[in-house]
Amino acid sequence: MDLIRKRQRMISMRQVIGSNDNYCPGYYYYDSKLAITPEELQDLYRFTRWGRSRSLEQIQKMLDGTSMCFSVRYDGKLVAFCRILTDFVFRGSLWDILVHPDHQGKGLGSGLLRYALTHPAIRQVPVIVTYTSELIDFMCKLGFESRDGLLILQRRPIEYS
Ligand SMILES: CC(C)(COP(=O)(O)OP(=O)(O)OC[C@H]1O[C@@H](n2cnc3c(N)ncnc32)[C@H](O)[C@@H]1OP(=O)(O)O)[C@@H](O)C(=O)NCCC(=O)NCCS
């Protein structure tokens, strides 16, 4: 990794220290896509059945086109990720919530989502949607509701859980 990217990573870092119970000590939270390389995100996707076939080219294009990427590092390693597509005023959508298996069940997934959803650039957006079939309870604990009126144009099967 070159020096510029290292510096960008430092600038984009927002550490949250244990004064807030939503966040785990030792975990460093980042609010910039510059804090993530496609290679390490591909390594994290390998733990999911829906993301493991994503190529480096697709991931780079996805990062470039995503409004905000949120990530967490532990001991320097990328351990959690999610991303939001938004106009920053009216609408947003949340995708690719994932935590490395070694770090699941410690409150990291919910901490990362709280970090993303309360971020100054995101917290004023009145409508944020996501898609999930298995994580409905998890998302409802974070304030999401399952709405009958939510429609989806699905061009291909969704592999998400
Ligand atoms: C789903 C996921 C992000 C949760 O992250 P996590 O750090 O393990 O979750 P937390 O420790 O913050 O758990 C918070 C709560 O949600 C619950 N929860 C965690 N994973 C859950 C799941 N898969 N289904 C339902 N509830 C779940 C926990 O039991 C916990 O409940 P509690 O507060 O009553 O104890 C993580 O398990 C993961 O990365 N899964 C694989 C990737 C995936 O399927 N992503 C979703 C598609 S976008």
Within-domain flag for 58: yes
| Cα 160 to chain centroid, rounded | 14
Shortest-distance Cα residue to atom 46 of ligand 1: 97
Q: Provide the β-strand partners of residue 69.
A: 83
Per-residue pLDDT tens for 6-55? 433 433 344 443 334 456 789 999 999 999 999 999 999 999 988 999 99
Within-domain flag for 148: no
Within-domain flag for 152: no
Per-residue pLDDT, 156: 82
Q: Which residues of 105-116 are buried (b: 16+ CB within 10 A; e: fewer)?
A: eebbbbbbbbbb
Q: By 3-state DSSP, what share of the chain in percent is helix, strand and coil, each rounded to 5?
A: 30, 25, 45
Q: Tell me the whole-structure pTM to 2 decimals.
A: 0.87
Within-domain flag for 159: no
What is the domain count for the chain?
1
Shortest-distance Cα residue to atom 28 of ligand 1: 105
Within-domain flag for 86: yes
Within-domain flag for 149: no
Mean pLDDT, rounded, for 88-116: 96
Per-residue pLDDT, 36: 96
Within-domain flag for 154: no
Within 13 A of 136's CA, how many CA atoms are on the CB side? 5
Q: How far is the CA of 135 from the centre of ligand 1 (A)?
A: 7
Q: How far is the CA of 114 from the centre of ligand 1 (A)?
A: 13
Ligand 1, CB cutoff 6 Å, lining residues: 48, 96-99, 104-110, 132, 134-135, 137-138, 160-161
Contact 49/32 with Cβ under 8 angstroms?
A: no
Shortest-distance Cα residue to atom 31 of ligand 1: 138
Q: How far is the CA of 97 from the centre of ligand 1 (A)?
A: 9
Domain span including residue 117: 3-140
CATH number at residue 19: 3.40.630.30
Mean of all residue pLDDT scores within the chain: 86
